[in-house]
Each structure stands twice: as structure tokens, then as C-alpha cells.
Amino acid sequence: MPELPEVEVTRRQLEPLLVGRTLSAVRTTTASYFFLTPPAMLRRRLRGRRVLALERVGKYLIAQLDGDERLLLHLGMTGQIFGAGATSVRLLSSTAGGALPPEGQRRFRPDAHTHLQLRFADHGPAVFFRDVRKFGKVQLLASGERSARLDRLGPDALAVRGVALYAATRARRAPVKTVLLDQAVLAGVGNIYADEALYLAAISPTRRANRLSREECLRLARTIRRVLRRSIATGGSSISDYVRPDGSDGAYQDERRAYGRTGEPCPRCATPIRRVLIAARSTHFCPKCQR
């Protein structure tokens, strides 16, 4: 997915499309793994609700509704949230043979992967949530209802402090990459930005977390904040499915140093970037200048 930068870019673009508007008809697909709240209940309880604010915590979006309810959204791996009128080939299921519909017929039409359609009382643009793999999540929290998923999250990665990272890693013998992916340690870093931050901080992803020095943790925390901020500024990474709510691609994929660059020369020392598996996730790094 969508990691913190993509979720934050989504939040910023979605905010004016949601906040202040009142939901009318809500359509869903049928019950699945995707719906933490049963779809029939979602349809019933969302109708007439007004959106007061749109927030982000880690990789979660939280729409504050009137009546003190909250709608949790998570994009999973292939989630896309966008407004009616967005056009992008990423929003179309490729047909057998991969032929694209002709220009002019590429306007999005809700398909079998469009699990949530939000329509509004003002009859303005609808908002869609599409997710091919259904690893995304939707949940409606009643007034005062706690969410174990949110309660588990560590500090937001945009604000992570080096001293906190140092403290959190002391008892962790797992590779530092594994610990960066742990949302209880810091919320928002995923596979791309873990690799990118470790590359930029020149720390090997295979290092045992508890072997990092205090100075390395400070450097790593700074680098994490910097790479996330930079990605947000460029609109996030559009690598396979991610699109912004207006349908446009982000641009951070063009600035990647390590992720997905197996075999290409390291930008610092020209050694070929290596790919290994850590925590069953593909991990890209320079074996020479990351120590």
C-alpha cells in the first residue's frame, strides 16, 4: 500500500471532498474480509451522517462524523479512494489482453472491486473506495467505542523521535527492518520507506535492532521523518495501484534509491543493489555502503 505518505496525500485531497458534506445513499459490495462493520449496517448507519473532519493516524484515515461516530478507513495493499470524475488507467480492471478502452471512455465506473460508494445530499461528486485484493478495511466506530487497531499503534512516524526509537529497539533482536515495519513501534512506515530510510541512513536492514547505537537511532529517526516529508511533498509513490483522489500519480517512485532497484547501481557507490527477504518482505539495499 499506500504507506504514510500516500495516506497523507489522500487525506489532504479527500478532505475538501468529504468535510462539511452529508452522506445520502451509501452503496457497498457484499460482506467480505474488507468490512469490519457489516455492509448492511454501514449503509444504514452512514446515511444522513455529516463529515466533520478527516484525520490520519499511521496508515489509517479517520473520518469524524456528527453524532460522535468515526469511520475508519485503511487502504491495505491495493486500496484506492478517489472522487467521481477521477480518471486513471490504474482505476480500470485490465481486460483480457490488456487493451485499454479508447480515450474518452476511461471515466471510472464502479466495478466489482468498488466496495464503498459514498453519495452526498448536495448531489455533488461521489467518493469511491476501490480495493482489488480486499486487504483494505472499513469500520464504523460508535460514540466512545475504542479500536484495538488504533490503540496498538505507536507514535506517528512523521513525528518519531530518535530517543524513542533507541528505547524501543533495546529489547528487539529482530533485524532493524522488521522493527521499522512494526506499527506498534512507529506507525506509518511500510516496505518502501523502510528500505529508503535505511538506505539514506546507510544502515543495513539486516542489523539486529538492539545493536544500533544511540547515534544511529537518532540518524535513522531523522531520515525517516525526512523521507516521509519529501514523499508527501511529491505526492507519494505510485508503483502499482496507488492513485491520488483526483486520479493523478504521485512522483516519489522516481526518487527511490533502493526499493525495487535490484541489480541497479547504488547511487552512492555504484555497487549493485541487492534484494533479500526479511520478515517475508522483499528488502533492497546496498551491501557496501549500508553497514
Partner DNA sequence: ACCGCACCCTGAGCGC
Partner DNA sequence: TGCGCTCAGGGTGCGG
Interatomic CA distance for residues 167 and 219, integer angstroms: 14
Q: Does 99 bind DNA (CB under 7 A)?
A: no
Q: For residues 156-174, b (16+ Cβ closer than 10 Å) or e, as one string?
A: bbbebebebbbebbeebee
The correct pick among 19, 52, 84, 132 for binding DNA (CB under 7 A) is: 132
Only one of the segments 37-45, 64-72, 74-82, 156-164 lies at the binding site for DNA (rule: CB under 7 A); that segment is: 74-82
The correct pick among 20, 33, 109, 270 for binding DNA (CB under 7 A) is: 33
Known catalytic residue at 281: yes
Contact by Cβ (8 Å): 16, 119? no
Q: Does 280 bind DNA (CB under 7 A)?
A: yes
- To the nearest whole angstrom, how small is the minimum distance from the Cβ of residue 239 to DNA? 4
Name the residue nearer to DNA (CB basis): 74 or 219. 74
Give strand pairing partners of 53: 64
Give strand pairing partners of 118: 26, 127
Q: Does 242 bind DNA (CB under 7 A)?
A: yes
Contact by Cβ (8 Å): 65, 49? yes
Q: Which of 56, 59, 119, 261 is catalytic?
A: 59
Supply the angle between the helices 214-233 and 162-169 in degrees, to the nearest 10.
120
Only one of the segments 10-18, 42-50, 212-220, 235-243 lies at the binding site for DNA (rule: CB under 7 A); that segment is: 235-243
Radius of gyration of the chain (CA): 20
Q: Does 2 bind DNA (CB under 7 A)?
A: yes
Q: Which of 3, 6, 15, 69 is catalytic?
A: 3
- To the nearest whole angstrom, how small is the minimum distance from the Cβ of residue 170 to DNA? 9
Q: Does 98 bind DNA (CB under 7 A)?
A: yes
Known catalytic residue at 3: yes
- Catalytic residue annotation: 2-3, 59, 281
Q: Which residues make up the interface to DNA (CB under 7 A)?
A: 1-3, 6, 32-33, 58-59, 74, 76-77, 93-94, 97-98, 113, 132-135, 149, 152, 171-175, 178-179, 181, 183, 190-192, 209, 237-242, 279-282
